[in-house]
Amino acid sequence: MTIQCQSSFQNNNDAMRPEGCGSLYLVGTPIGNLEDMTYRAVRTLKECDIIAAEDTRQTRKLLSHFEITPAMLFSYHEHNKAASGPELIRYIIEGKNLALVSDAGLPAISDPGADLVALAVSQQIPVIPIPGANAALSALIASGLPTAGFTFIGFLPRERKDIRAVLAPLRAAQGTLLFYESPHRVAKTLVHLQEAFGNRRVVLARELTKRYEEFLRGTIEECCAWLAEHPPLGEYVIVLEGESKEEAQLAESSWWRELSIAEHVAHYASSGSPRKEAMKKAAGDRGLAKRDIYNALLEKE
Ligand code: SAM
């Protein structure tokens, strides 16, 4: 691998960069409240030669609010990124400065922006973040759940088995988990979360920075009951508690949970316990009488 060093202060990478090349600016825009637009975002959008937007109609409204007249407005979204991405990169290599905006919030978070950034990096194009609002982090900081460590998941897949495949490895994650969800799926997603993680604490952060901003804090079951009475509306971030110390201890002390009774007894027997002792230990772990273990082994034979 060749090391790449892009610095705003020393142009260490100049030798590798195509001559006369422009830059890719990732411009954060509000997630609802227009007052969250930064001065730097407005200036960057005014100064760039091209603005690439996920939804050009939506972006036109934003631009007109801030009296920004784009030199060129391009569409870049999930369905045209394969063709549009390389074209935008060509413009930058030819010397244009390009600003990428998403529908709301930070580009490249749960949208195709990350692909354009990867393309730009592969061409040694400078990539400059212009920070702004972000739904996941805004929800996290106000959730009341631990913020020291967290995992951003974004949208879950649609199919049940794919959802399970994403959630299963997160069961032992101790940091807070962050999901994006639409109002149509939020209740179903909570059911999937309960199946995977049990009845943990959760915060539903709705319509952040907007007039009907709301935080619903409770257990998954309590939030499901609330949603049954108050049909979900607006955009949601689901902030879910990570694995607690008690859950971790229980999981550790229940290492045998995936084993059958016969496998459990065999485990102790193979580590040197006489058979009777192995049965006693397995019974103790499971909170069963020795007789139950004996019967289960007989049934198996
Ligand atoms: N790029 C955005 C960001 O930085 O947060 C996220 C874009 S993603 C395509 C859209 C999802 O973000 C929505 O479905 C919702 O889950 C979440 N979201 C966006 N705006 C929100 C808001 N104002 N309140 C709650 N969630 C929001």
Write out 72-135 in H/E/C secondary structure: EEEECCCCCHHHHHHHHHHHHHCCCCEEEECCCECCCCCCCHHHHHHHHHHCCCCEEEECCCCH
| Domain's final residue, options 105, 133, 161 | 133
167 and 155 in a common domain: yes
120 and 143 in a common domain: no
Predicted local distance difference test score (pLDDT) of residue 73: 97
CATH number at residue 143: 3.30.950.10
166 and 149 in a common domain: yes
* CB distance 231 to 186 below 8 Å: no
121 and 142 in a common domain: no
Does any domain span residue 170? Answer: yes
| Domain's final residue, options 133, 164, 199 | 133
Predicted local distance difference test score (pLDDT) of residue 15: 56
146 and 129 in a common domain: no
168 and 107 in a common domain: no
Does any domain span residue 71? Answer: yes
Predicted local distance difference test score (pLDDT) of residue 10: 54
- Name the most confidently modeled range: 3-7, 258-262, 277-281: 277-281
CATH number at residue 124: 3.40.1010.10
How far are the Cα atoms of 47, 167, 168, 242 from residue 161, in angstroms, in the given order?
Answer: 47, 10, 10, 22
Q: Whose CA is nearest to atom 2 of ligand 1?
A: 105
| Domain's final residue, options 248, 265, 281 | 248
Model pLDDT for residues 120-131, shown as the tens digit of each residue = 999 999 999 999
**Ligand 1: centre distance to CA 299 (Å):** 54
Predicted local distance difference test score (pLDDT) of residue 9: 62
Up-side HSE of residue 158: CA atoms within 13 Å toward CB?
1
199 and 212 in a common domain: yes
Domain count, the chain: 3
Does any domain span residue 18? Answer: no
279 and 241 in a common domain: no
pLDDT surpassing 80 at residue 198: yes
Banded model confidence at residue 261, pLDDT cuts 50, 70, 90: confident
Residue 191's CB is within 10 A of a number of other CB atoms, namely 11
Residue 59's CB is within 10 A of a number of other CB atoms, namely 22
Does any domain span residue 9? Answer: no
**Ligand 1: centre distance to CA 205 (Å):** 10
Model pLDDT for residues 70-126, shown as the tens digit of each residue = 889 999 999 999 999 999 999 999 999 999 999 999 999 999 999 999 999 999 999
Predicted local distance difference test score (pLDDT) of residue 301: 63
Does any domain span residue 169? Answer: yes
112 and 72 in a common domain: yes
Name residue, tokens 């040197």.
272
How many angstroms separate the CA atoms of 18 and 132, rounded?
29
280 and 187 in a common domain: no
Does any domain span residue 146? Answer: yes
Does any domain span residue 87? Answer: yes
**Ligand 1: centre distance to CA 141 (Å):** 15
Banded model confidence at residue 200, pLDDT cuts 50, 70, 90: very high
148 and 101 in a common domain: no
- Identify which of 237, 238, 239, 240 to mutate to test ligand 1's pocket (most ligand atoms within 8 A of the CB): 237
Q: Whose CA is nearest to atom 8 of ligand 1?
A: 110
Residues with CB under 6 A from ligand 1: 31-32, 102, 104-106, 109-111, 134-136, 180-182, 205-210, 235-237
How far are the Cα atoms of 18, 19, 97, 213 from residue 94, in angstroms, in the given order?
Answer: 9, 9, 9, 44
- Report which ligand 1 atom has the smallest distance to the Cα of 135: 5
Does any domain span residue 161? Answer: yes
93 and 163 in a common domain: no
pLDDT surpassing 90 at residue 46: yes
- Name the most confidently modeled range: 7-11, 176-180, 276-280: 176-180
Stretch among 48-52, 141-145, 278-282 having the lowest mean pLDDT:
278-282
Stretch among 185-199, 206-220, 260-274 having the lowest mean pLDDT:
260-274
How many angstroms separate the CA atoms of 111 and 238, rounded?
18
- Identify which of 35, 38, 235 to mutate to test ligand 1's pocket (most ligand atoms within 8 A of the CB): 235
Predicted local distance difference test score (pLDDT) of residue 201: 97
**Ligand 1: centre distance to CA 26 (Å):** 16
**Ligand 1: centre distance to CA 292 (Å):** 53
Buried b (16+ CB within 10 A) or exposed e, 115-144: ebbebbeebbbbbeebebbbbbbbbbebbe
- Structural domain range at position 153: 136-248
**Ligand 1: centre distance to CA 131 (Å):** 15
Predicted local distance difference test score (pLDDT) of residue 126: 96
